Chain A
């Protein structure tokens, strides 16, 4: 059974960089059939896609966050990571990592999710 687990600091100061890592276990990480994504959810609000990365390192970002986001992958550790710089209180959210299937140019929705990690931006 595929499992995803987010890890990283739960508290980040304003103007600093938020960093999270997602560790994938129980399945094929370095496969051409998947993108790996970050999604966030502010308290009491809806879901926002942050961006996705292919196992080879190709990335796609939400245009509204693109200037502040970097997603990277480490296939040797079955991990992918999120960095969001210049954070403000508006970046306080539960951050999820998830898997998105990709099949010959056709995308699919997120079928596996991590449990989520709450990150609070506060001094």
Chain B
């Protein structure tokens, strides 16, 4: 079973600054990696898939990078609405299976 580990657990950043979130896989997942944003009381929202492709309607300040076992989500200039919890997710082709990281809480500094 592939384990996804996110770091840090909590990240404190000031509005307008850059935020960098990390996700590590216990074995190579190629580029089958997605990032989600979740705000309190809401369902997660897909931000990035294929490690680096923005989902429909996602602002350009969100970018993803990496392949294999090391991945990064970067938010270039934090807006107030970006403070939330972020999850990475591996989605396997076959057998179809899904594994989430434990999440990173992005909070206002």
Contacts and interface: CB of A to CB of B under 8 A. Distances in A.
Contacts, number: 64
Contact of A111 (B46, B98, B101): B46
Contact of A113 (B43, B89, B98): B43
Interface string B70-99: 000000000000000001010111111111
Q: Chain A at the B interface: mostly helix, strand, loop or mixed?
A: strand
Interface in A91-114: 96, 98, 100, 102, 105-111, 113-114
Contacts of A105: 93-94
Interface residues of B, number: 26
Interface of B: 1, 32, 34, 36, 42-46, 49, 55, 87, 89, 91-103
19 contacts: A46-B101, A49-B100, A52-B98, A60-B97, A62-B97, A62-B98, A96-B43, A102-B96, A105-B94, A107-B93, A107-B96, A108-B91, A109-B34, A109-B46, A109-B89, A110-B36, A111-B55, A113-B43, A116-B43
